[in-house]
Structure 1
Amino acid sequence: MTCGEHGVVVAMVPWARHGAGHTRDFDDTIAWLATTLELLGPARCAEITHVSADAAARIARRRGVLPQAVRCAHPFHVVKWATEALDQVRRQTWNALRREPGGSGRDRRGRRASTGPAQHLKRARWALWKNPENLTGRQRHKLAWIAKTEPRLHRAYLLKEGLRHVFAAPAHDAKQALQRWLSWAARSPIPEFVKLGRTIRAERETIHASLDHGLSNALIESTNTKIRLLTRIAFGFKHPDALISLALLPLGGYRPALPDRTPT
C-alpha cells in the first residue's frame, strides 16, 4: 500500500503470505492442484489433453503443471470480467449522481441516502447484470431509462452484452466477433473496458481454444454447488460417510435396488 507521508509501505495482511504474488486461497488452490496431479501419477497426467479453468490454470502451467494440455478459458469467467468492469462504471456513475445537487439527502433515521436519479440508478443493478431475455418488465424500463439518461453506462452495458454474445456464436463466427469486440473496447472512452480489452488480448489464445473445443467447466461447478448444498443438509451427521452417500445417490449415478420397485 502507499502512504502519502512515507511512500510505499509493506504491511502484513491476513489474506496473503509474505512475498507471495497471490492471495492465500489462490496459492492453496495451486498447491491442491499440484498435489492432486501428483497423486494421479505421470502416466494418467499425460492423458489429460485439455484443461478448462480461469487464471489459476495459467499460473499452474507456469509452474510446470500439465504443460502438454491445451488450456481453455472458461467462458463464465471471461464474461464475469466484463460484468465486474460494468459494475465499476455503475458505481462511478452512481457516486457522480450523488454528488450533484439533490442527489442525496437524509432518510427518516437521519442517515445519508440517495435521492432522485441516484436512487433510481442504485436500484438498477440487476437490470444491468441480468441477461436481456431474463429481465422483468420493470427492469427493462430501468434499462431504457439508463439508455436515455446515462449513455456512458449504457455503452458499458452493451460492451458486456457484446462479449457475452461472443460465446453464444459458432466458433468461426465467434472469433471474428471477438476481434470486433476488442476493437470496440479499444476505441471505448471507458478505461475499465480498455483495460479489460488488454486482458482479453493477453488471453486470446485460451479463449480461441475454448471456442474451438467448446470446453467448459460449468458441469463441474454445478456439481460442486450441489455438493455444497448437500453439505448444509448433512449438518449434524456424525460421520462423513453419510454425506458421501448422500452425494453419490443423486450425483454418482448410483441406482440401488429397492424392494417392490421396478428399475427404470
Structure 2
Amino acid sequence: DMSLGFAKGIRERLPNAARIIDKFHVIKHANEAVDKVRKQEARGNALLKRTKYLWLRNESNLTGLQLEPKRSLQRRRLKTGRACQMRETLQDIYGTSADRAEAETALKRLCSWMTRSRLEPMKEFARQIRRHWRDILAYFDHPYTNAILEGLNSVIQNVKTRARGFKNMDYFSTMIYLTCGKLDLSTVTT
C-alpha cells in the first residue's frame, strides 16, 4: 500500500519489517493517472466522453464491440492513448521482468518517458514511483501482496457496517470470528 498511514503503521509497529509495495497498488495509481488524463482531454474532445473503461481495462478483457472503438481512438494519437500505453508498459514490466535489475532498468526508462510526456498526471505518477522506489522494487525480490489482509479487512468493515456499531469489543470480535472463521456451527446447534 502506498498510503502514508500504512507506512507510518509499519514503521511504528513493525520497525524491522521490509516494506513491499505490490503491483496491484502501483497499477491502481497508474489507472488513476490515466483516467485524469482522459478527463482533462475529454473536456475538449467529445470522442472521449463515456470511454473510461475502454482505457482502464486490459485489451484481453474488452469485447469485440469495445476493442474496435479503443483502437480507432488510439489511431488518433490522443494524450489518453499515450497515457494508456504507459500504463500497459508498467504492466509489461511486472509481467516480464526476470529479476529486480531488469525491472529497475525498465522502470527508469518508463519514469523518464512519463516525466518528458507533458502529461501532468503521468508526471506526478512518475514522481510517486520515485518516492517509493525502493519499496516498489522490493516486490521483484519478494513478490508478496497483502491481498488476503485487504480482503479480510473488507469483510470486517462489512460486519461493522451491518451491525451499525457494537456496544463492546467482545461482540465485535465474536462476529469477526463467526464471519471470517468459516466455522461449521451445525455441530454446535444440533
Q: Select between 84-93 and 183-192 the one with higher mean Cα deviation.
A: 183-192
- Distance between the aligned counterparts of 1:80 and 1:127, measured in 2? 15
Partner of 1:158: 85
- Distance between the aligned counterparts of 1:239 and 1:202, measured in 2? 41
- Distance between the aligned counterparts of 1:210 and 1:130, measured in 2? 23
Partner of 1:78: 26
How big is the shift at 1:89? 1.0
- Distance between the aligned counterparts of 2:184 and 2:109, measured in 1? 49
Partner of 1:201: 130
- Distance between the aligned counterparts of 2:177 and 2:77, measured in 1? 50
Letter in 2 for 1:84: E
How big is the shift at 1:251? 2.1
Structure with higher strand content: 1
Task: Give the TM-score of the pair, scaled to structure 1.
Answer: 0.59
Structure with higher helix content: 2
- Choose between structure 1 and 2 for higher RCO, CA contacts under 8 A separated by at least 6 residues: 2
Partner of 1:41: none
| Native 8 Å contact 1:156 1:193 kept in 2 | yes
- Between the aligned residues of both structures, percent identity stands at 31
| Native 8 Å contact 1:166 1:177 kept in 2 | yes
Structure with higher Rg: it is 1
Q: Select between 219-228 and 174-183 the one with higher mean Cα deviation.
A: 174-183
Letter in 2 for 1:67: P
- Distance between the aligned counterparts of 1:250 and 1:210, measured in 2? 31
Partner of 2:67: 140
Q: Over aligned residues, Cα RMSD in angstroms?
A: 3.2
- Distance between the aligned counterparts of 2:118 and 2:24, measured in 1? 25
- 3-state SS of paired residue (1:149): coil
Partner of 2:177: 248
- 3-state SS of paired residue (1:163): helix
1:216 to 136, 142, 145: 145
Q: Select between 185-194 and 165-174 the one with higher mean Cα deviation.
A: 165-174
Partner of 1:11: none
Structure 1: runs of 5 or more not aligned: 1-52, 98-117
How big is the shift at 1:96? 1.6
- Distance between the aligned counterparts of 2:180 and 2:96, measured in 1? 30
List per-residue Cα deviations over 1:111-141 (Å, max 9, x = no partner).
xxxxxxx1x4111111111222222223212
Structure 2: runs of 5 or more not aligned: none
| Counterparts of residues 98-247 of structure 1 (less than 5 Å) | 118=46, 120-170=47-97, 172=99, 173-234=102-163, 244-247=173-176
- Distance between the aligned counterparts of 2:159 and 2:184, measured in 1? 18
How big is the shift at 1:144? 1.2
